[in-house]
Structure 1
Amino acid sequence: MYAWLFHLLPGPTWFRWILTLVGLAAVVFVLMEYVYPWVAEFGFFSDATMDVD
């Protein structure tokens, strides 16, 4: 599947690698900025159970 996607990209091999890295960075950015914080609002892992005096 990834080879098929890689061959769909235009240009020579070095340019395909640059496009792949830019696309991967964009996916990581969107996940870290928008998806994970939104999902964290619905999770129980941010609730503290210890009482600190």
Structure 2
Amino acid sequence: MYGWIWRTLPGNAWVKLLISLLLVLAIVYALFTWVFPWAEPLLPFSDVTVDQENVTNTTGPGGAPRPAGATGATSPTALPGGLPG
């Protein structure tokens, strides 16, 4: 795909390089102007709740989320995958 774009652009290598740079800048501008603001409300980055009174360990080994209903601490000697240490 990139080869096709490079061959399709007019001019010598320096002109192609300049046009490629302008295309990249235009794409980055479009992403920051329209795409990211549109997608931001759909992402959970601002949905953070910290309740100091009811702190529980909701992550499993390696920071992975625990399955629903999983309780109790994991053995510190257990390896990932449930293999004994």
Percent identical: 37
RMSD, matched Cα: 1.3
Q: How far apart, CA to CA, are the structure 2 residues paired with 1:50 and 1:2? A: 46
Q: Deviations over 1:10-34 (max 9, x none)?
A: 1111000000000000001110111
Write the letter of the residue equivalent to 1:33: T
Uncovered stretches (5+) of structure 2, i.e. residues with no partner: 52-85
Does the 8 A contact of 1:40 with 1:46 survive in 2? no
Q: How far apart, CA to CA, are the structure 2 residues paired with 1:35 and 1:47? A: 20
* Highest RCO, 1 vs 2 (Cα 8 Å, sep ≥ 6): 1
TM-score, length basis structure 2: 0.54
TM-score, length basis structure 1: 0.82
Match of 1:8 in 2: 8
Match of 1:35 in 2: 35
- Compare the two structures and name the one with the higher helix fraction: 1
Q: How far apart, CA to CA, are the structure 1 residues paired with 2:17 and 2:31? A: 21
Structure 1 ranges of 4+ moved more than 4 A: none
